[in-house]
């Protein structure tokens, strides 16, 4: 007989608005995909983790089902570009409609727009220059589960991120077509997803006009050469390279250019960090207060992707350490690897450069000279001198965890 928990896992979830959230599929999966699970996650989190497949996705690490939040197993990060069907899923709201691309429209309006307009998907594909950018999409709370002391929120491990080639049109081309007034301050973006309970704040974000006009900020309708997956924003989403994914609005439906700071919940209250606590270059000044500021750019970081904590090797065996490094777009300058717990460091070989916003693969090889435990560490540094920390920069929301990644292996 199925337990109550198993029945709940396999059930359909319906919203009060009548919108169907597709059933997650309990597939036969390789439990080794959980082998990179973060042992520092809060008590009970590891025990509850299972691999589960949403429609169109490979089995991912389920964090929550409603709204759907699924983490990518680290083994997929051995690829330069994260496969669409293994890309992490992040939602705040549970009503996620299946959008029909044939009837989808994007409206551009606001008090700081000269000529409000409405665009179809075909308009985006045929009336504007098509561009592509490789960029890391990273949840602001990636690695939140490693915070000590722990903080509330989704207890992400290492996999609330992915790297992809995003194709679409420059947001600035749309805004220039609509005509910006001199008083334009922020660009406010909304998507098709909504909350279930009355009073749930809609997930609406704003970005400063100067960021919206950056040539790399785009409205994307393709991901790794294919239409956006449903769970990653079909038919179009905002892509803000270098900034955390809170601004990457999925299923985008409207853009408003406004002359005053947008004061919605997800800007005024959520996704904020203590002022001056992190080495932020690109600041969102119109949204700053005397004590905090909106999270913006991604902090420099790296990850060991091919080794598991506790993995065993033979004495004299050549060991390859592989990983990825990324930042907010200032270009990864070097990655250093230590095999002795940080006493000495050696520079790793960097892989092909796919652009300033893509992550960079790196490789290091060594042959252990004696038996025992080896503590492997990786540390990335970018071209403006930012590097990873050895001590956690704690903050109440659990953002920007970029402590040097450390694992232990055994040589026998």
Q: pLDDT-based confidence at 129, cuts 50/70/90?
A: very high
256 shares its domain with 200: yes
Tell me whether residue 126 is in a domain. yes
Tell me whether residue 89 is in a domain. no
26 shares its domain with 70: yes
- The residue length of the chain stands at 412
Tell me the mean pLDDT in the region 206-234: 98
The β-bridge partners of 134 are: 165
pLDDT higher than threshold 90 for residue 126: yes
Peptide bond into 235 cis (omega under 30): yes
Any idea which of 7-11, 100-104, 167-171, 356-360 has the lowest mean pLDDT?
Answer: 7-11
159 shares its domain with 272: yes
Q: What is the mean pLDDT of the chain?
A: 92
256 shares its domain with 306: no
User: What is the tally of helices (H) and strands (E) in the chain?
Assistant: 6, 27
Domain boundary among 270, 294, 318: 294
Tell me the mean pLDDT in the region 122-147: 98
Q: Rounded CA gap, 369 and 335, in Å?
A: 23
DSSP-derived secondary structure letter, 387: B
Query: In the chain, pLDDT over 90 holds for what percent of residues?
Result: 87
Any idea what the Cα angle at residue 223 is, between residues 213 and 15, rounded to 5°?
Answer: 95
Tell me the mean pLDDT in the region 123-140: 98
Contacts of 197 (CB under 8 A, 6+ apart): 16
113 shares its domain with 234: yes
74 shares its domain with 195: no
Tell me the mean pLDDT in the region 351-373: 97
Q: pLDDT-based confidence at 30, cuts 50/70/90?
A: low
User: pTM (2 decimals)?
Assistant: 0.92
pLDDT higher than threshold 50 for residue 282: yes
Domain boundary among 294, 327, 353: 294
* Torsion, CA 185, CA 186, CA 187, CA 188, rounded to 10: -140
Number of domains comprising the chain: 3
Q: Rounded CA gap, 206 and 188, in Å?
A: 4
pLDDT per position as a tens digit, 288-346? 999 999 999 999 999 999 999 999 999 999 999 999 999 999 999 999 999 999 999 99
In 241-345 the beta strands, taken as DSSP E runs, fall at 252-258, 272-274, 292-294, 301-304, 312-313, 319-326, 332-338
pLDDT per position as a tens digit, 316-331? 999 999 999 999 999 9
Phi, psi (5° rounding) for residue 299?
Answer: -80, 150
State which residues form the domain around 39. 8-79
């Amino acid at each position: 007989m199925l337990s109550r928990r198993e029945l709940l896992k396999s059930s359909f979830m319906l919203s009060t608005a009548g919108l169907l959230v597709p059933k997650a599929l309990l597939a036969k999966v390789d439990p080794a995909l959980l082998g990179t699970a973060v042992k520092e996650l809060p008590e009970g989190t590891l025990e509850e983790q299972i691999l589960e497949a949403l429609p169109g996705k490979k089995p991912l690490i389920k964090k929550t089902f409603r709204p759907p939040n699924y983490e990518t197993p680290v083994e997929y990060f051995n690829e330069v570009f994260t496969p669409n069907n293994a890309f992490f899923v992040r939602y705040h709201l549970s009503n996620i409609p299946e959008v029909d691309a044939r009837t989808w429209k994007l409206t551009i309006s606001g008090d700081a727009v000269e000529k409000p307009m409405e665009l179809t998907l075909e308009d985006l594909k045929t009336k504007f220059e098509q561009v592509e950018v490789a960029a890391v999409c990273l949840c602001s709370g990636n690695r939140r589960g490693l915070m000590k002391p722990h903080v509330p929120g989704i207890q992400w491990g290492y996999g609330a991120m992915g790297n992809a080639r995003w194709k679409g049109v420059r947001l600035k081309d749309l805004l220039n077509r609509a005509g910006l007034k001199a008083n334009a301050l922020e660009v406010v973006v909304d998507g098709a997803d909504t909350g279930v309970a009355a009073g749930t704040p809609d997930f609406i974000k704003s970005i400063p006009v100067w960021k919206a006009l950056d040539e790399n900020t785009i409205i994307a309708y393709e991901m790794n050469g294919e239409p956006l997956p449903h769970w990653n924003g079909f038919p179009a989403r905002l892509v803000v390279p270098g900034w955390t994914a809170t601004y990457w609005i999925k299923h985008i439906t409207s853009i408003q250019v406004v002359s005053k700071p947008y004061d919605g919940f997800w800007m005024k209250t959520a996704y904020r960090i203590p002022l001056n606590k992190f080495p932020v270059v690109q600041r969102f000044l119109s949204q700053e207060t005397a004590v905090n500021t909106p999270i913006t750019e991604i902090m420099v970081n790296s990850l060991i992707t091919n080794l598991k904590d506790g993995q065993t090797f033979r004495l004299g065996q050549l060991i390859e350490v592989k990983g990825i490094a990324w930042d907010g777009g200032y270009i990864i300058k070097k990655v250093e690897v230590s095999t002795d717990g940080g006493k000495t460091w050696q520079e790793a070989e960097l892989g092909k450069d796919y652009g300033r916003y893509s992550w960079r693969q790196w490789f290091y090889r060594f042959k252990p000279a004696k038996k025992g435990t080896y503590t492997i560490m990786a540390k990335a540094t970018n071209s403006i001198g930012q590097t990873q920390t050895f001590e956690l920069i704690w903050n109440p929301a659990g953002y920007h965890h970029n402590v040097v990644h450390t694992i232990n292996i055994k040589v026998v």
